[in-house]
Each structure stands twice: as C-alpha cells, then as structure tokens.
A and B are shown apart, each in its own frame.
Chain A
C-alpha cells in the first residue's frame, strides 16, 4: 500500500499526530506493532497533565508542556475524554525543600506557567487534610490536571480513522529503505510505502531512526511502578500530590485518577530491557514507603492492582522532535518521556506544522474534529437509563458488575473505528474488568462477546494480542 505519510507508533503522540493530520487531504497510515493503540508507555503512567515548571526554560519540554496543558481541556472536551483540572501540589518537608519549591516557582514563571502559588502549611492542610503534618509549604499549580491517557489515545485514533486514516495493527516496522523519494517500510505483515515517515515509536524510536541511518538518538529505559487503590479510598487526595523532584524524576506522587481511584507511584529504575514492565517487590515497596511520607493514612489493603511503565529517557534530557539530520522527509518524535502526555497535544500541532510546510495539503471539507461521547451507563440517571435500554436492549444487560458496564457498551467498543480486538482493549475502552474483582466475573463473558462479534472461536481471543492466549483447546 502507498501512503503520503506513515506514522509509526500508536501511542498518545502518534495517535494525536494522526488526528491532526487527518484534517488534510493526505493518505495516512498509523502503523502499530501491537493489537491496539496505547499499548506502550501511554497505557502505564501517572496520567498527570503537568503545570510545566519542571523542565528548564528554553527547552522543547518546557514549551510543549505548557502549551499542551493549555490545549488539553478543550481537546478532551472535543474528544469526550475524561479530564479534570484538579491542580497539583509539590510538598516541601524541610527548609531546603522550601527553597527548592521557590526555584520551581521561578522556573515555572519563566516557562509561562499560569496560576502558580506558594502556599503555607495551613493552606495545604485545608486543601488536602490527609497530607502529612510534617509538611512545611507547597507549590500549588492551578493549571495542572489529570486525564485518562489511553482513552485520549483511543479517542484520537477513532477520530483519525473516522477521517480516513488507516490503522494497521500487529504491524511491526523491521526495516526501512528508500527508493526514488519513497520510503519502503518492511513490516511483520508486509511492505508499506510512504513519502513521509513520522517516528513516534516511543521506547523504540531510537531503533526506528537508526533504520534510516540516523544514530543520533540515545535513550535510557527508565521504569516506574505503581499501586492502584480501590475507589473507596478515592477521597485520600483531591490534588495531585508531588514531593520535591530529584535527578531521576518527579518522585513518588499520590493522585486521584479521573475514574475516582487513587494512584501512587512511580518508582524510577534504569533498565536494560525496554519493554520490561514487570513489577518488583523492591519497586512497590519503595513506592509505598515514599507515599506514606506524603499521605500517612494510605492503606495498602486498598490496592486492587499494581503495574509498571517504561519511559524513554533521552540522554540529552530534552524531547527530540523535528526532521532527522539524515532526511527532510523523516520526522522524529523521540525521547518523549514525562511530561510527554501533557505535551502530546502540542507535539501533534508542532509536527503538523513541520509537515504542512512541505506538503501544503488542502483541508478536507468533511473533517470531523470531535468524537461523540461514548455511552456510559454508570453515569446515567434512572430516566436516561430507561430510555437507553428502550432504544437498545443490549444496554440492559450488565456484563461487568463492579463497574456496571453493559453489553451495549462492549459492543460499541468492538465496533468503534479502530475498535477493541482483545479483552484488554475492551477493558480500556469500557472499564469492564477494571473494578475491584479485576475481571474475575466478567472476563469470560467478554471473551464470549468478542468471539461472537469478531466471528472467531473463543480460544482465538487474546488478553492483549500476540500469544497472550486466554484459553486453549476444548475439554475432553
């Protein structure tokens, strides 16, 4: 197949780029090695829309973070993605740390972060009664927020596909060659031709760049582990609560999620392996001990799951975005570590502008920039529920009891543009299986529905693609 643009990597960066580019009259492929979008770093991170005071003034990180955080609320509105402007706090526990948050404040002002304040202990306790009494002061960032990173990515991919982008799953780019101004991507499922290539391959963006002879990108894989607490602990924190950052990152935070759970983490350890998202006893222990310092009343009995994500830390400490030195038709988006999620909307616009300079394409007349709100039975009142089930009885059948997810919502997730193909895909789109029983009750039903809708046998359905089989052959 021949495309004008091939975007490699269906993370938040690749998906948002595709969404922005899909308004133009160009033929685009989104090439992803996994069975779904949002399977890389995008699915396992802190989900914070950062204020933007961490990065050094003048860096791309600083500029795109502040800009991305500014765009995020309206973007999430357009895409009907959960976002909450809950604000963040950086706690200072010593005089030294009080000095440090002043430095962060000044840096934030230089970066153009709006609504920053240094607040007293009393004010901190007023805003967050569960914060430790040891706190001395805090930096309050009113523009910070939280977002659902995979839903943002899924929604962006849906809009892109609705506007004509082709989403190619299970398609790993293995090599790239060039002939007569056209790139040929050699992938696990065949050849793809494209005039322009955008490298948004996350932890593997260094390898993708190297495929055209660009060896300039050096990444370190840095793992972060988390605990997720049950919704009944949701009132532990309202703001996102950070500690003072250190050289490995922003430290352990305690934050609500848009779904009302509490997330604590991450740890930070450098790894040899890029895709190693194993959790470790040491990592989780570390997270817990640090989180206690901020919020002493955290109770680990409330943990419903733990997970880990791997960031692509660039040794240059800044995002690497722009045309490769080796080619004026190959754009790198590499080293997109934190605050990459926050910055992603701005990264997408930046890449759009870089490409438009060269392609000067027409804007489509029928471009649909928004995503209709998915049906969320759990958020409806009685009257709305009544009408919904009358319209489509599938919304009257509850499949996931913990999160109250209906069969209708699962069918929608499967049949959506770039829809779910596996159990985790259904889970990320609907929350079926994300509650306190973690799919013990509904996963077999989800497997049944997937099999039926995709015309497959139950034992062909996977947890997340590849060899992640759930069941084997029939019993005797």
Chain B
C-alpha cells in the first residue's frame, strides 16, 4: 500500500487548485488521481472563451485556464497519475484505483479531497416518448465529438434544455455549419448564464422557446425529427400545441448531477438538494479528513468560483493533515423562500476567516431584498436587482458576526420584498 498525506480524486480545476493550495500550505506528499489521459477536467473540451474573468481578470478558453494550473502542478513535486480510475474509498481513507501501468493500487491517505466533477442528466431521466434512433445525445457528449475527436455529431439540431453547455453547443454547431433550429426550455426561464443566451443564441438568431419541451422523437435508425409542445404551469404539455421539427440530432442540456458514487459508497452524507456532500466552511464532509470541492460539491457555472472553493478545501485539508483540531461548535445554514440550498451547510463558530455562503434560487427574482437571519434577528441584508436559477449567488458573513452567533443556532438566507 502506498502512503500519502493528501490524495486528490479528480484532476479538473477543482482537484488541481486544492492540491496546489495544500502544497503552498506546506503539505509534502500529495497525489492527484485522474481518470482521463490529461489533467484539466471538463475544461479540456470547452474551447470557447469565458473562463477566468473573475480569477485572472482576463478572458481565457477552457484549456488555457486549465493549462495555467496544469503547468503549476507539474512545476511542483505533486504526483499525478492520469488514466487512473478511482474505484473505491474505504471508511478509513484508503483509496483503491487502477490503470493499465500500475495495475490495481491502494493508497492510504491522511486526508482526501473529492473533486470528481459532475455528469449530465441522460434522456432516460426525462422519459421522452418515441424511437430509440441514434442522434440523441447529451450536449457534453456532442461537445466531446466536436472539440476532442473533430467530428460533426449532426447537421440539423434541436437542443432541449437551456443549460450553459447546451447554449455553448448551439453556437459551436452553428459555427461549424450546422443548423440549430431551436433551443427548447421546459421552464419559463433559462437555466444558463445571461451572457451565454446573448452571445450564443441571440447573436446567431437561434430561437429560445421557453415553456416548451420535446414530447416525441421520430426516426427508426438515425433521428429524423422531434415533436415539441408548449407546457402549462404544471409543466405538462398542452394538447394542440405540438409542432414537428425535422432534425437529425437532439442534444440534451437538462442538468448536471454531481458525481458522488464514490462518496456514497464511502458512506459520506449528501445534501438532498445539491446532491453533493454536506460540508463545513473548510469543505470538510461529515467523514473526518475527507473534503469536497468543485462540481462534485455543487454544480458551478463559473470555474473561477470552483478555483476559490477548491483553495478553501485545500487549505482545510492542510490544516487537518497538520493536526489542527476543530474545537468550536457548529451553526447550521439553510435557505428559505426560494433560496434552494446553502454551501457550506455548517460553520464552526471558532473559525478563523470570513465565510462566503454560496446558493442558488429556485425561480427568477427581481428587485428583492436578500437577508441573512439568525432566528428573528437580521444579521445582514442586501438589495438585489435580479437573481436567476442559472446563476450561483454568494453573500459574505464577517468573522465577527460568526463568532457572535449563539451556540446551536441556524442562519437562514431568505428572499423578501424590497
């Protein structure tokens, strides 16, 4: 069995940032395990720009953003094993992985950072009626065919779901000469970033149909078309609004699910809403010495926040490895009135820094007041012009405030009329 201070599972932006931060904090024996053949995670296939505006103050492509971190990782003595799949994490922090060079490896690690990212929801989860033709794929799979393999996955395209990957692919396919006929979104609002709607759809004249879904796929072998229909407020298709759109490809961009099979098998408690582990302010899960960051913790839309979050986890892991004990009591966090969840789920009252609470709202809000409360007491509040489900929000809680919270209390983030 190999032995390390820190084992990082997943070499995307999250894993790399956590490993680098821990290194900076003086942790020596670190290993990153990545199942793809390179570091970089999902960014490797995101060749569009729009990464790093917050973190680097410049607009980079996905591989450029990842590239900066990859270089830093290789400039240190952090060990990297690519093409290596982690199969299991045991209750006592033993990681089992395999690849075709070392075979099966087991690693005993003092601390573990989970950074496995997320996966796309498949068609089955939607149970769209119709044929089982080829040409129905997730937007991420299509992106891989175009950007990594260099092949066109289709010529005439309908996209279901207005998540960011779908929006980005609408533009990508158009630039490659395909005809994107429509982006259909079940909800009355888009799940993607506003800037992507403008730059990827509006600039190319691609219609975004809100409150609309695909009710049937047609074609025996390759897809030949889809039937779309409008939906009512209960999201049920409205009879009589069906329309047939000929197309050879249906791309799905209907949500991302944190990749937590390993976490679940290790018995790590997950949050019902985020589907990621429940963590404290240093992103430590309820399983001692196991930390989580990036899309495996909560689905992010901006990689810059992934990097920030992962640095926090890296720092937390370093403290743990150095044997710093957490003595204080925890206060819980929760969302209310349309605030769907809060990460972190709990905060140690004796923590040493300000804490940012990250969250998403469940519907579009305009001109509202965002408040953080402890019991009936308003700790702080801020006016918000607009909040949408597609954009992750955050709000900072000062260290003084945290220290003054009564023990056993819960802080609630809520939306109120302005």
- Mark A residues whose CB is within 8 Å of B: 227-228, 275, 277-281, 283-284, 300-301, 303-307, 382, 385-386, 389-390, 393-398, 401-402, 404, 407, 436-441, 443-444, 448, 458-459, 462-464, 466-476
Contact = CB atoms under 8 A, between A and B. Distances in A.
A275 B220 contact: yes
A474 B150 contact: yes
A387 B352 CA distance: 49
B99 interface: yes
Contacts of B154: 472
B246 to A, nearest CB: 15
B151 A398 contact: no
26 contacts: A275-B220, A278-B131, A278-B216, A279-B129, A281-B215, A306-B129, A382-B104, A389-B104, A396-B98, A396-B99, A398-B35, A398-B85, A398-B87, A437-B122, A439-B141, A440-B141, A441-B119, A459-B151, A463-B134, A469-B134, A469-B222, A470-B135, A472-B153, A473-B152, A476-B176, A476-B177
B120 interface: yes
B103 interface: yes
A471 B146 CA distance: 9
B98 A440 contact: no
Contacts of B155: 472
Given A281-B215, A473-B151, A307 B145 contact: no
Report, nearest first, the 8 A-B pairs whose CB atoms are least far apart: A305-B124, A393-B100, A463-B134, A438-B122, A396-B100, A468-B134, A389-B103, A398-B85
Given A281-B215, A440-B138, 20 more contacts: A227-B127, A277-B132, A278-B216, A300-B127, A307-B132, A385-B98, A395-B100, A396-B99, A396-B100, A396-B103, A397-B100, A404-B87, A436-B122, A440-B119, A440-B140, A459-B151, A468-B133, A474-B150, A475-B146, A476-B176
Contacts of A458: 149, 151
B141 A306 contact: no
Contacts of B176: 475-476
Contacts of A468: 133-134, 221-222
Nearest to A288: B127
Contacts, number: 142
B146 A438 contact: no
Contacts of B146: 475
B393 interface: no
B130 interface: yes
A462 B137 CA distance: 14
A393 B150 contact: no
B234 to A, nearest CB: 15
Interface string B166-205: 0000000000110000000000000000000000000000
Interface of B: 35, 83, 85, 87, 96, 98-104, 106, 119-120, 122-125, 127, 129-135, 137-138, 140-141, 144-146, 148-155, 176-177, 215-216, 220-222, 261
Contacts of B140: 440
A440 B137 contact: yes
Chain A interface helix/strand/loop/mixed: mixed
Contacts of A438: 122-124
Contacts of B87: 398, 404
A396 B87 CA distance: 11
B208 to A, nearest CB: 23
B130 A278 contact: yes
Contacts of A303: 124-125, 127
A444 B130 contact: no
A471 B102 CA distance: 34
B131 A280 contact: no
Nearest to A283: B129
Given A389-B98, A472-B152, A440 B125 contact: no
Nearest to A467: B221
Contacts of A304: 122, 124-125
Contacts of B130: 278-279
Contacts of A275: 220
A393 to B, nearest CB: 4
Contacts of B150: 474-475
B151 A471 contact: yes
Given A305-B124, A398-B98, A278 B103 contact: no
Contacts of A439: 122, 141
Contacts of B99: 396-397
Contacts of B145: 444, 471
A169 B261 CA distance: 39
B221 to A, nearest CB: 4
A398 B262 CA distance: 15
Contact of A386 (B104, B152, B222): B104
B119 A437 contact: yes
A12 to B, nearest CB: 20
A228 B124 contact: yes
B134 A464 contact: yes
A471 B135 CA distance: 8
Identify which of B148, B150, B215 gathers the most chain A CB atoms within 10 Å of its CB: B150
Given A389-B98, A398-B85, A443-B141, A475 B104 contact: no
A471 B133 contact: no
B61 to A, nearest CB: 16
B101 A396 contact: yes
Contacts of A471: 145, 149, 151-153
Contacts of B85: 397-398, 401
B152 A475 contact: yes
Contacts of A398: 35, 85, 87, 98
Contact of B151 (A389, A396, A437, A474): A474
Identify which of B99, B101, B129 gathers the most chain A CB atoms within 10 Å of its CB: B129
Nearest to A281: B129
A235 to B, nearest CB: 15
Nearest to B152: A472
Contacts of A300: 127
A306 B261 CA distance: 23
A12 B127 CA distance: 28
B120 A440 contact: yes
Contacts of A404: 87
A332 to B, nearest CB: 27
Given A382-B104, A396-B100, A458-B151, A443 B124 contact: no
A298 B106 CA distance: 38
B15 to A, nearest CB: 16
B151 A475 contact: yes
Contacts of B137: 440, 443
A274 to B, nearest CB: 12
Contacts of A466: 220-221
Nearest to A392: B100
B153 A393 contact: no
Nearest to A404: B87
Contacts of B98: 385, 389, 396, 398
B124 A393 contact: no
Contacts of A443: 137, 141
Contacts of A470: 134-135, 153
A467 B131 contact: no
Given A307-B132, A397-B100, A472-B151, A467 B222 contact: yes
Identify which of A281, A401, A448, A475 gathers the most chain B CB atoms within 10 Å of its CB: A475
B129 A284 contact: yes
A306 B133 contact: no
A105 B134 CA distance: 45
B40 to A, nearest CB: 16
Contacts of A227: 127
A414 B87 CA distance: 25
A306 B220 contact: no
B221 A444 contact: no
